[in-house]
């Protein structure tokens, strides 16, 4: 069946013309914000695709890959749409983002939940639990989603699963059956049928090059699973690596600025057990991309690992939208991203340790905590040898044991309360949770105030509008430190930066020389 135009593709001819100009320029700033369906070939591409630019009359533009596939287009094997930064949740090509458009906000939140495998115990969301998380009926979610995105939630989810499968088939040695399961398919038979129906290829056809390499080197076990990801420029790689290097916990993390690499240990629950391993990321700025190396021990949770790595590095941010709101007040910091985390509980503990002390002192306490309550990585590699303590381990720790490593009583109580809440399942610290409820639950715990809760929301929950009004360094950067009420003055100044105040915080910090307070 020849490709057809879905409803909607691009909202206006002007939007389509702008997309074509970006396509001709191969402008990486628009990567993931739209996809181009080429009617003469039946293929859809990213704006950065290096093939010869098609004629304007042969181009249809789509905000989502799912829209292109619903119209009958197949993904390009050269530019690989599965590597594009996420676009549905972070920016909307069809219309300006509006806090007044409640139905679109709901559709955007549904897309975010479908994109977040870490939220679901088996890595596979369903419309029933998405609707329950949003507090509306499943029927309402389906109707709103299709109205705003032009495809059904099932079509959207199917495209995400197939693109994940295409990615794993192309880049890894994982068996086809494992790829099918990791991508969310209930059976290999259903996976094969869907792949052939949508891409007109057998899954094994993407394996030929990989299989040839395996034949040449069949006796050697791979040392890592290697995958790639892309981001939209500008991206200040040095600033991101410096942020993590300044807060490094020895034995858990390593940063090599000259090699543009960051590595650390990681533990993830899966099927009633905990998988442990390590990850390493290396930036490739010339290609606006990142190479991930993931230990084979984490192979069964690859979608969750990928989602966490993208959040850690804020790869899906849309600088275009953020800079429109912030550039006037923070010129020269357009490449700043909001550093995330791989584990929300760990970030929460580290935020508590950093209350009202220096960054260096907080790192010292973090290192002691890891040595005393963490566990060994079974196969140490590259200086990574320890795993951060689990919520259960810290919930069971005594006050005396925590005090012996220098943690004062107030923070002992805060760490133990946080650990117990997470261990019991009463608190989830990850993207996709309800922000207001989570902030309230955090501040109900002893020793956790607005600063700590907002900091956790900014980095662990990935809330773009978090704002640490009581932060001394932030107040200094904004020039309100001497105001009668600095926190109120900072809050008032931040109104014009909504909904991107997390980015304003990072840019304000970056405008200062290193300070004595933790951030």
Q: Note whether residue 233 is domain-resident.
A: no
Q: Note whether residue 444 is domain-resident.
A: yes
pLDDT band, very low/low/confident/very high, at 216 (cuts 50, 70, 90): very low
Q: Note whether residue 237 is domain-resident.
A: no
The residue from 115, 318, 471, 518 that is catalytic is 471
Per DSSP, 34 falls in state B
**Residue 485 belongs to what domain range?**
344-510
pLDDT band, very low/low/confident/very high, at 97 (cuts 50, 70, 90): very low
| Catalytic (active site) residue 49 | no
Per DSSP, 285 falls in state G
Q: Note whether residue 111 is domain-resident.
A: no
Q: Token pair of 421, please?
A: 């809440």
What is the reported pLDDT for 434?
Answer: 87
What is the reported pLDDT for 149?
Answer: 87
**CA atoms within a 13 Å half-sphere pointing along the CA-CB vector of 423:** 14
Q: Note whether residue 121 is domain-resident.
A: no
Q: Note whether residue 475 is domain-resident.
A: yes
For 269-285, give one letter per residue: b (16+ CB within 10 A) or e: eeeeeebbbbbbbebee
**CA atoms within a 13 Å half-sphere pointing along the CA-CB vector of 137:** 3
pLDDT band, very low/low/confident/very high, at 86 (cuts 50, 70, 90): confident
Distances (CA, A) of 389 to 38, 310, 518: 51, 23, 21
CA–CA gap between residue 461 and residue 160 (Å, rounded)? 22
End-to-end Cα distance, the chain: 55
What is the reported pLDDT for 210?
Answer: 54
Residue 94 has pLDDT above 50, yes or no: no
> For 239-272, where are the E strands, in sequence order?
253-256, 261-270
CA–CA gap between residue 61 and residue 20 (Å, rounded)? 8
CA–CA gap between residue 455 and residue 362 (Å, rounded)? 15
Q: Token pair of 481, please?
A: 């430190």
pLDDT 10s digits, 380-418: 998 899 999 999 999 999 999 999 999 999 999 999 999
pLDDT band, very low/low/confident/very high, at 6 (cuts 50, 70, 90): very low
Q: Note whether residue 57 is domain-resident.
A: no
CA–CA gap between residue 52 and residue 425 (Å, rounded)? 52
pLDDT band, very low/low/confident/very high, at 208 (cuts 50, 70, 90): low
| Catalytic (active site) residue 101 | no
pLDDT band, very low/low/confident/very high, at 15 (cuts 50, 70, 90): confident
The residue from 19, 31, 45, 341 that is catalytic is 45
Relative orientation angle of helices 435-443 and 450-459, to the nearest 10 degrees = 140
Beta bridge partners of 235: none
CATH of the domain at 370: 1.10.340.30
Q: Token pair of 353, please?
A: 């340790």
Q: Global pTM? A: 0.90
Q: What is the mean pLDDT of the chain?
A: 89
Q: Note whether residue 496 is domain-resident.
A: yes
pLDDT 10s digits, 338-377: 999 999 999 999 999 999 899 999 999 999 999 999 999 9
Number of domains observed in the structure of the chain? 1
């Amino acid at each position: 069946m020849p490709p057809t135009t879905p409803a909607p593709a691009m909202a206006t001819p002007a939007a389509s013309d702008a997309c074509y100009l970006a396509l001709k320029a191969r402008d990486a700033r628009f990567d993931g914000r739209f996809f181009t369906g080429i009617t003469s070939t039946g293929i859809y591409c990213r704006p950065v695709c290096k093939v010869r630019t098609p004629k304007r009359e042969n181009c249809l533009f789509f905000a989502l890959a799912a829209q292109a596939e619903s119209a009958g287009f197949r993904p390009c094997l050269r530019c690989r749409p599965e590597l594009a930064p996420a676009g549905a949740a972070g920016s909307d090509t069809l219309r300006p983002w509006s806090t007044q458009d409640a139905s679109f906000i709901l559709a955007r939140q549904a897309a975010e939940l479908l994109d977040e495998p870490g939220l679901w115990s088996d890595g596979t969301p369903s419309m029933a639990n998405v609707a329950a998380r949003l507090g509306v009926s499943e029927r309402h979610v389906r109707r709103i989603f299709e109205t705003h995105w032009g495809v059904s939630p099932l079509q959207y989810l199917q495209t995400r699963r197939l693109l994940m499968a295409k990615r794993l088939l192309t880049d890894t040695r994982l068996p086809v059956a494992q790829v099918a399961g990791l991508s969310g398919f209930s059976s290999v038979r259903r996976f094969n049928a869907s792949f052939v129906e949508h891409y007109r290829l057998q899954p094994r056809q993407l394996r030929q090059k990989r299989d040839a390499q395996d034949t040449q080197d069949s006796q050697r076990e791979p040392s890592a699973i290697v995958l790639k990801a892309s981001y939209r420029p500008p991206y200040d790689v040095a600033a991101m690596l410096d942020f993590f290097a300044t807060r490094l916990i020895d034995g858990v993390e390593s940063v090599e600025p000259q090699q543009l690499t960051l590595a650390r240990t990681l533990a993830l629950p899966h099927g009633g057990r905990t998988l442990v391993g390590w990850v390493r990321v290396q930036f490739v700025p010339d290609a606006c991309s990142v190479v991930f190396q993931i230990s084979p021990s984490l192979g069964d949770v690859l979608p969750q690992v990928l989602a966490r790595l993208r959040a850690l590095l804020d790869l899906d941010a849309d600088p275009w939208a953020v800079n429109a709101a912030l550039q006037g007040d923070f010129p020269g910091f357009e490449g700043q991203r909001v550093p995330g985390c791989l584990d929300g509980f760990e970030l929460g503990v580290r935020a508590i340790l950093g209350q009202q002390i220096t960054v260096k002192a907080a790192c010292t306490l973090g290192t002691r905590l890891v040595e005393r309550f963490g566990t060994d990585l079974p196969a140490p590699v590259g200086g990574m040898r320890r795993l951060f303590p689990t919520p259960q381990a810290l919930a069971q720790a005594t006050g005396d044991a925590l005090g012996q490593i220098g943690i004062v009583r107030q923070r002992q109580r805060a760490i133990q309360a946080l650990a117990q809440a997470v261990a019991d399942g009463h608190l989830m610290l990850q993207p996709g949770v309800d922000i207001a409820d989570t902030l309230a639950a955090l501040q109900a715990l002893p020793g956790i105030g607005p600063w700590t809760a907002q900091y956790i929301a900014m980095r662990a929950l990935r809330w773009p509008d978090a704002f640490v009004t009581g932060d001394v360094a932030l107040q200094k950067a904004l020039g309100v430190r001497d105001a009668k009420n600095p926190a109120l003055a900072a809050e008032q100044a931040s109104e014009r930066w909504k909904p991107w105040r997390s980015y304003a915080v990072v840019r304000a910090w970056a405008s200062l020389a290193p300070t004595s307070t933790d951030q």
